[in-house]
Amino acid sequence: MDDIVKYPDEFLHKPAEEVWLPLDEDHKVLIKNMVKAMYKNNGIGLAANQIGSSSKIFVMDVSNEKNNPQVFINPKIKKEAKEKLTDEEGCLSCPGKLADVRRPMYVGLEWTCQHGKLQYKTFYHLPARVVQHEMDHLNGKLCIDYG
């Protein structure tokens, strides 16, 4: 069964909503399903709206072993590099399409983890790109909307 919401479904252009904390049971199940869907589709990141939820949550795993899923609840970009880089991006919601996207080299992100703790970290390289790609999803924007 294909569980990913695909372009041109308008739901992908609907911005996500803040999640009420502490997490309720429904959101815990949602996060489990997001991680499952990311791995099943060989993705390195997935936003909640890609599986039909409007919750402001994304997951990411850029490890080679695919055993380190990170959960980002109510993420906010607090800082970004002035320097930008262009690279090719693909998206589970836009199969067969690639887009050149110019993005800041690094971003400082604040979020709540699945244990309810507020976190802050600066992301560089591939994680920086994934974080910004998933933040776009939560804002209702797709990589193919650039350019």
Binding site residues, Zn ion, CB under 5 A: 91
Residue nearest to Zn ion (CB): 91
Q: How far is the CB of 129 from Zn ion (least distance, A)?
A: 11
Residues forming a β-bridge with 100: 88
Instruction: Give me the count of residues in the chain.
Output: 147
Q: How far is the CB of 12 from Zn ion (least distance, A)?
A: 9
Closer to Zn ion at the Cβ: 16 or 91? 91
Asked whether the beta carbons of 60 and 45 are under 8 A apart, the reply is yes
The two three-digit tokens of residue 70, written as one number: 């990170």
Residues annotated as part of the active site = 134
Closer to Zn ion at the Cβ: 31 or 143? 143
In order of 11, 12, 58, 131, 145, the CA distances from 39 in angstroms are 22, 20, 13, 17, 25
The two three-digit tokens of residue 46, written as one number: 């997935």
Closer to Zn ion at the Cβ: 27 or 129? 129
Q: How far is the CB of 120 from Zn ion (least distance, A)?
A: 24
